[in-house]
Structure formats: C-alpha cells, structure tokens
Amino acid sequence: MTRQADQTVNERQVALNVMAGADATQMAAIWAAWPTPPAFEAVRGPETGLVMVRGRAGGGGAPFNLGEASVSRATIKLESGEIGHGYCLGRDLEKARVIAVFDALFQRDPVAVKTRVLAPVRAKGAAHDQQRRNETAATKVDFFTMVRGDV
Amino acid sequence: MYVAVKGGEAAIANAHALLADRRRGDRSLPALGIGQIIEQLGLAVDRAMAEGSLYDRELAALAIIQARGDLIEAIFLVRAFRTTLPRFGYSRPIDTGRMLIERRVSATFKDLPGGQVLGPTFDYTHRLLDPEIASGDDVPAPATRDTVPENAPRVTDLLAHEGLIEPDNPLDNAEDTVGDLTREPLQYPLDRDLRLQALARGDEGFLLALGYSTQRGYARSHPFVGEIRIGEVEVEFDVPELGFAVSLGRIRVTECQMVNQFKGSAKVPPQFTRGYGLVFGQSERKAMSMSLCDRALRARELGEDISAPAQDEEFVISHLDNVQATGFVEHLKLPHYVDFQAELDLVRKMRAEQQEAAE
C-alpha cells in the first residue's frame, strides 16, 4: 500500500471509531440537518447481531471469550458509487445506517464529514469524558503521614 | 390405572394475563420506564447483562421489568434473546490497561501511577437506610477536581518485572484456538480460557460462596486484591469488508487482579500467583469472587492438591450457571404425574413383598 492510501485508510478508520462512540441522538440530529442529503441505497442491513467480546486472562495473557454484545451494522452505496460501512454497539439500526452514509461521504468529501460530523461528535465526547475524569479525580485518595503525637 | 390427559390451555393463558397484571401493579402509579431502570437500578442491569452474557443495557432493563425484578428470570430472558441473533464474529481482546477509569483501588500497593480512586462505591458507607431517598429529592452534583488524562497501568504489569508475581503470558494460546462454550459442549478437563468464560457468566451468589469457602480454609489461597478497576474500554472488531479493525464503541467492565501467596511446587518456584476476574458492568463482588475461583481452579496447573469444592473444576463449572440450575430445579414443579404413578406402584409392590416376607 502506498503511503497516501495508508493515510486514507487511517483517517477513515479514525472517522469510523469516532462515529461508533457517538451519542445516537447527536448522530441523528447531524444527519437531519445535513444540507444536501445524498441519495443512497442499502447494500446490506441495517441489521443487529452479536459480537463475542474477548478479554485476556490476567489482563495481558491468553485471550478468552467474556460475553457477547449487541452490535448493529449497515452497508450502503451512494448514488455516486462510494460504498460505506457502519458498525456500532447496541441495537440502534438508524445509527448504523447514518454511520455508513457518512463513511461513504467521507470518501467523497472528507472535509465536510470532518467539520460537520467528527468535530462536534469529538467535542461532545471529550467534554463528557473530561467531566467523568474530573468527577472520578475528586474521589482520589490523598495519603498523608501521621506524625507521632499528632493524634 | 393412569390415563394421559390434556388440558390447561385456558388456565395458562389466564395465568399469564394475571402475571402481566401483577407485574404492572397499581395502575394509579406511573409505569416504570427502561430509562429509569438503566439510570436508577444500574447495578441490577449490570448483573442481568453479565450473567445473561449479553452487553445491552436496554435489553437487560426490559428483562428486569418483565421479570418483575426477579434477576435470574431476567437473566434467563436475556439468554433466550441472544439465541435469536446472528453472530457477526469475535472482537479483539479488550485492553483494560487503556480503560477510562471510574474506580481503581489496590489493597496491596499504596502508591501507584494513577493513584487510588474510590469512584462511586458503597465502601465506607455506614449502611444506614436513608429515608430521604424515599422523598425523591434532588441529589447535589458530585464534586469535581480538574485533572488531565493520566496513565494507570495495571498493577500486575508494574510488578511483574521482579518475578515475584507471576507474569501474564500472552502466547499461551493463539486467538483462533480460544474455546467458546456457546458453540461447543464442554469437555473436562478444561483450559483456563473456557473456565474464565464460564465464570464470567456464572451466578454471582454461587461464586461468592465458593470464593468465601477458599478464604475460610477450603483450598486456602492467601489472597490479596492486587487491583480492582472499573471503567470503560473500547471494543475493537476486525471488519473483513474494510480490511481493518474499527471501534464499535465502549463497554463498562470490572476487573479484579487477585494475588495469592504460593509456596511453590515441583513445577513453580515460590511466588505470588494470580486469579483473574473480568465482568460486564460494575460488579466488584462478582469480579472478586471470580478471581478467587479462577485461582482455586488453577490447582491442577500449579501442581496443588485438589481437596476442596472450589478446586473441583467439574463441580464448579457444571453448577455455576443459574439458568441451567434454575431450569433443572424448577422443572420439578411441572407435571410428573406418570413418573410418580409408576413410583407409587413400585413402592406398593415393595411394601407387599416386605409384608409377605414378614408373614
């Protein structure tokens, strides 16, 4: 693979990762507000199935099957020919379908998807995670040493 | 003589309608919503997901409502639902070292990179019932402390270098040979991968009791909590049509690393060995119990004497599944009229014979 192709794959992968973690209502809102929704047809799905989630013994050892998770997926084809795939945890078929459409659009117009989809999704996700981190950090134990005679 | 009979259709239909009525309860009270169960009975949802062996919070919450709060019934419903869906494949193993941590404590090492964070814990509460909760009053927002993302490596990885703690061996077996008890019937003896899968979906109460038994001296294993961590991890999945792995999103898991003093054996020098627990959702008790049982079940591998129930692989693994267990126990209440009639005849005959012999 050429370096440029590598980078395209990498960017597409990052885009799919970001969208999979997005809040479903946010994705639906972005899609509803999309200026010129492209025509597309379903190639597969959207459908719900299971992925067996694996862990590792001891955290870093041999893999084992932890349990399944519900996953939705969709494959669509834009009128202009690009094929997009969408995968996400849960049973929200519409979210999988919207991810697939944006994945296809990303191949045609990455800038639009980056600015209109990835940027707001990332911003919301980052804010949510940071709030979680800050709440957790408040419960961090600060040890101090008791000096003899202190009590 | 016994004649086989049919019947009960109307009784069954009416019983189910009555069940639905009793589940709904007093209509003057608002009906429960799935969102309320997810948000306010989150740990019940987590248990239904973990033992139902299906990560899906909405489904688990629905199952809890439908089961009127009977968690084993809810787990049964979740298990039944999962059989209706196709399997897309297996994820890459999750990396708990890259968790977005919500709680992380170690009972063995005070100072750790990433620190000790208590998170939303029942620990150190006084277990006094709080009548204010019943009033439904608002709860103040939690305290926050500005922080930056920080690495919190697994304790066992930090200390593995010295050789005093048994290291992980990722090369134990390849990913394509991982056992899956949902696909193949179990054949004893089992490898650790299958045991961990069975333990992860096993009944919390059963594992708790067995773990407790190891502490009380049945297969004493001198355990310490090396680390417990709760938080969210990415699930990555290799998508064939894309040719690369994508994240499917994050799931919350609880991980427990138990470290156990080990005097050594013919096969292994004295060191700290380990038991591992990994469970869907937030469930520290289950993860801890699982790690105690995992360690006890490694007796054969570590060359220990097998003397206690918790070490008996076939006993533990065959009886830890509450859906199987409840199925077999509860089937006893279904009509056994013919079986019992046959046994009645048999007992009558034996009594007649005994009486005859006495005369």
Instruction: Answer yes or no: do B109 and B202 share one domain.
Output: yes
Amino acid found at A38: P
pLDDT of residue B120: 96
CA atoms in the 13 A half-sphere facing the CB of B325: 16
Indicate whether B24 belongs to any domain: yes
Compare B243 and B72 and report the one with higher pLDDT.
B72
Q: Do residues B193 and B211 lie in contact, with contact meaning Cβ atoms separated by under 8 Å?
A: no
Give strand pairing partners of B260.
B223, B273
Instruction: Answer yes or no: do B50 and B156 share one domain.
Output: no
Q: Rounded to whole angstroms, what are the CA distances from B183 to B87, B96, B179, B294?
A: 11, 26, 8, 22
Nearest to A121 by CA among A14, A22, A9, A51: A22
**Overall average pLDDT of the B239-250 stretch:** 93
**Overall average pLDDT of the A90-114 stretch:** 95
Instruction: Answer yes or no: do B71 and B117 share one domain.
Output: no
**Overall average pLDDT of the B135-157 stretch:** 87
Peptide bond before A46: cis, by omega within 30 degrees of 0? Answer: yes
Q: Domain span at residue A75?
A: 3-137
Interface contact A67, partner B, CB < 8 A: yes
The chain B residue lying nearest A86, using CA atoms, is B248
pLDDT of residue A77: 95
Indicate whether A10 belongs to any domain: yes
State whether residue A145 is helix, strand or coil: coil
Band (A1; pLDDT cuts 50, 70, 90): very low
| Residues within 8 A of A (CB atoms), B 176-195 only | 178-182, 192-194
Band (B151; pLDDT cuts 50, 70, 90): confident
Residues A54-82 have pLDDT tens digits of 999 999 999 999 999 999 999 999 999 99
Distance, CA of B185 to CA of B253 (rounded, Å): 27
Instruction: Answer yes or no: do B63 and B118 share one domain.
Output: no
Instruction: Answer yes or no: do B50 and B101 share one domain.
Output: no
Residue with tokens 């009594």: B351
Distance, CA of B223 to CA of B246 (rounded, Å): 38
Instruction: Answer yes or no: do B108 and B75 share one domain.
Output: no
Numbers of helices and strands, H then E, in chain B = 14, 6
- Domain total in chain B: 2
Indicate whether A114 belongs to any domain: yes
Q: Domain span at residue B173?
A: 96-123+143-326
Residues B195-229 have pLDDT tens digits of 999 999 999 999 999 999 999 999 888 899 999 99
Numbers of helices and strands, H then E, in chain A = 5, 3
Residues A23-34 have pLDDT tens digits of 999 999 999 999
Residues B12-69 have pLDDT tens digits of 999 999 999 999 999 999 999 999 999 999 999 999 999 999 999 999 999 999 999 9
Instruction: Answer yes or no: do B169 and B265 share one domain.
Output: yes
Instruction: Answer yes or no: do B65 and B184 share one domain.
Output: no
Global pTM reads 0.92
- Domain total in chain A: 1
| Cβ <8 Å between A88 and B245 | no
Distance, CA of B156 to CA of A15 (rounded, Å): 34
Instruction: Answer yes or no: do B69 and B188 share one domain.
Output: no
**pLDDT higher than threshold 60 for residue B172:** no
Indicate whether A24 belongs to any domain: yes
Indicate whether B181 belongs to any domain: yes
| Residues within 8 A of A (CB atoms), B 69-88 only | 82, 85-88
Distance, CA of A61 to CA of B167 (rounded, Å): 8
pLDDT of residue B267: 67
Sheet holding B223-239, edge to edge: B100-105, B223-239, B244-262, B271-280
Instruction: Answer yes or no: do B70 and B168 share one domain.
Output: no
Interface contact B97, partner A, CB < 8 A: yes
Residues B252-290 have pLDDT tens digits of 999 999 998 877 777 677 888 899 999 999 999 999 999
Indicate whether B353 belongs to any domain: no
**A56: nearest CB among B93, B121, B243:** B93
pLDDT of residue B3: 59
Beta-carbon contacts of B120 under 8 Å, excluding residues fewer than 6 positions away, are A139, B102, B103, B282
A25: left (phi over 0), alpha (psi -120 to 50) or beta: alpha
**B144: nearest CB among A68, A69, A135:** A135
Q: Do residues B319 and B227 lie in contact, with contact meaning Cβ atoms separated by under 8 Å?
A: no
Indicate whether B135 belongs to any domain: no
Band (A2; pLDDT cuts 50, 70, 90): low
